[in-house]
Amino acid sequence: MKFAITFTASDFDKMYSYVIQDGHEEAAFLLCGVAETPSFTNLLTREVIPVPDSAFISKSGAFLNIKPEFMMPLIKNARLDNLSVISVHSHPFSRCNTSFSSIDDYGDTALIPKICGRVPRQPHGHIVVGRNSLDARLWKKDQYSSVPVDEVRVVGRRLRKIYPTSSRACSFSAVSDAHQRQVLAIGEEAQKLIQELTIAVVGLGGIGSQVFQQLVHLGVKHFIVVDPDVVEETNRSRLIGSTASDVKSCVAKTELMKRIAQAFDCRIKIEAIQDSVYTLSTSRRLIEADVIFCCTDNLHSRMVLNRIVYQYLIPLIDVGLEIQAYGGIITSAGGRVMVVLPSGPCLDCVGILDARVVSDEISALTSGGLTTGHYVSGEPIENPAVISLNGVVASLAATELLNLISGLESYRTAETYKVYRVLEGDVRLVEMKAERQCGVCVEVQGKGDGGKLPCRADG
């Protein structure tokens, strides 16, 4: 069982700058949604509530006592919205290996039962923050003893993982010789972080298979791969690693990816899901991922994954390429690689999601038909596709992961996405500007399991 707390970068900075501001201990509370699977509990920060001086009964260098009248409305709000409560305080003089003191332990014996009594259905937590480190623990629902938090995730233009002092997670596995040259370029810390991430790749066609292959070679060790399809002869010109016997044996694309990964490194762990993200159980399996790549060819899946970004605070790298050709000549072609972060505009706000097309795709799915855009009246339209063009956008997408973990493109201005103009032969940065306020991305932010994903139930 793994336990995590996830912040957006702005919430983390808000919390940190408040509790570490001078030589005094300071405090704050976090209200969090919860993401829970049988093997993973993740508290998702929705709101940071600093405790002002006026809310303390007493405040000293080593002891904080907060007025009940400050606490009660906060706990009431948590109960109404079914949110977890995390108390945060600082040890301002602690630098490395910040940990809970015996006074903190004693304080928790009084505070935590009160919170658990009022909001019994959620886990609650406590974070102690030092200047360069922190410690964190959770109380699972119905349990009186705490468990250490394995990792704190901070999601922003840089993706960070912080391992609390008492974390049981082995922080940063060793870098293999296979990646020594890469380490020269991106640094050992970034390489180790790559190895710690769980990456989901949704859609394993011409682009997704190349993205996956690059991620394997970059050193990712944990994958969740999702695609409902099997290898077909018409895929082979662009499906990495596919063979004629895969077509004959109707090998699932997910199994093909497993084979690619294990040929490179047999220690790579892959959860292969031969299904689409429209199924609730499948989309819920993505919530353990640190980053999701969307390499599908439809908007319905983008709508679902876009929701996951905000509801579960997981960055999405969305990749697409469209080629229009007539008589063997490309008339227009363009690729797009967009990083969607919980703090930025969503795919709907920037105008990528066309609600009418999404609706058509849902209708086609529920009526047992095929996805529009690629199939009309049951007949597949053969969209033009070229492996090398797919390769350009796949490489740009994989590089966005490096950007997230190491800030590789340090001169790049904020809030941009990449457009590959095939006929012009260039890649441009385009400002990621909201065309509208969809309202959904703001509403669901950090809600976790408290919100409903727009997927069909299983069965």
Partner 1 sequence: MLDIVRQQVERAKQDFPNLQATEQPDGSVQIIIDGLTIPQHWGRESMSILAILPPGYPQAAPNGFQAKLDGQNWSGVCYRPQTWDSGRENLWKWIKLIERFFQENRP
Shortest reach from residue 317's CB to partner 1, in Å: 20
Which is it for the CA torsion 231, 235, 241, 247, positive or negative? positive
456 makes contact with partner 1 (CB under 8 A): yes
Beta carbon nearer to partner 1, 393 or 453: 453
141 makes contact with partner 1 (CB under 8 A): no
Shortest reach from residue 355's CB to partner 1, in Å: 4
Bridge partners for 8 per DSSP:
155
Bridge partners for 125 per DSSP:
86, 138
- How many chain residues bind partner 1 (CB under 8 A)? 30
Beta carbon nearer to partner 1, 64 or 305: 305
* Binding range to partner 1, per CB under 8 A, among 26-34, 49-57, 59-67, 448-456: 448-456
Under a CB-based contact definition with an 8 Å cutoff, are residues 438 and 287 in contact?
no
Determine how many CB atoms are found less than 10 A away from the CB of residue 143.
11
433 makes contact with partner 1 (CB under 8 A): no
17 makes contact with partner 1 (CB under 8 A): no
x/- track of binding to partner 1 for residues 305-324 (CB under 8 A): -xx-----------------
Q: 3-class SS at 328?
A: coil
Cβ-proximal residues to 177 (8 Å cutoff; 6+ apart), any chain: none
281 makes contact with partner 1 (CB under 8 A): no
Sequential DSSP letters for 342-403 = TTS--TTTTT---HHHHHHHHHHHHTT---TTTEETTEEP-----HHHHHHHHHHHHHHHHH
369 makes contact with partner 1 (CB under 8 A): no
Shortest reach from residue 227's CB to partner 1, in Å: 21
Beta carbon nearer to partner 1, 132 or 366: 366
Beta carbon nearer to partner 1, 74 or 350: 350
CA dihedral 424, 429, 434, 440 (to 10 degrees): 100
358 makes contact with partner 1 (CB under 8 A): yes
457 makes contact with partner 1 (CB under 8 A): yes
Shortest reach from residue 82's CB to partner 1, in Å: 14
* Binding range to partner 1, per CB under 8 A, among 179-187, 189-197, 378-386, 438-446: 438-446
Closest among 210, 211, 418 to 334, alpha carbons compared: 418
Q: 3-class SS at 247?
A: helix
Category of 133 on φ-ψ map: left (φ > 0), alpha (ψ -120 to 50) or beta: beta
Beta carbon nearer to partner 1, 292 or 385: 292
83 makes contact with partner 1 (CB under 8 A): no
* Amino acid letter, 79: R
Shortest reach from residue 300's CB to partner 1, in Å: 8
Q: Among 248, 267, 269, 436, which residue interacts with partner 1 (rule: CB under 8 A)?
A: 436
What is the Rg, in whole angstroms, of the alpha carbon atoms belonging to the chain? 23
**Region 175-194 residues binding partner 1, contact defined as CB under 8 A:** none
Sequential DSSP letters for 141-180 = TT-SS-EE--EEEEESSSEEEE--TT--S--SPPPPGGGH
* Binding range to partner 1, per CB under 8 A, among 21-29, 148-156, 213-221, 347-355: 347-355
* Amino acid letter, 432: M
237 makes contact with partner 1 (CB under 8 A): no
Cβ-proximal residues to 260 (8 Å cutoff; 6+ apart), any chain: 209, 212, 213, 216, 240, 241
Beta carbon nearer to partner 1, 154 or 441: 441
Q: Among 362, 370, 387, 402, which residue interacts with partner 1 (rule: CB under 8 A)?
A: 362
Binding site for partner 1 (CB under 8 A): 300, 303-304, 306-307, 348-349, 353, 355-356, 358-360, 362-363, 366, 436-440, 443-444, 451-457
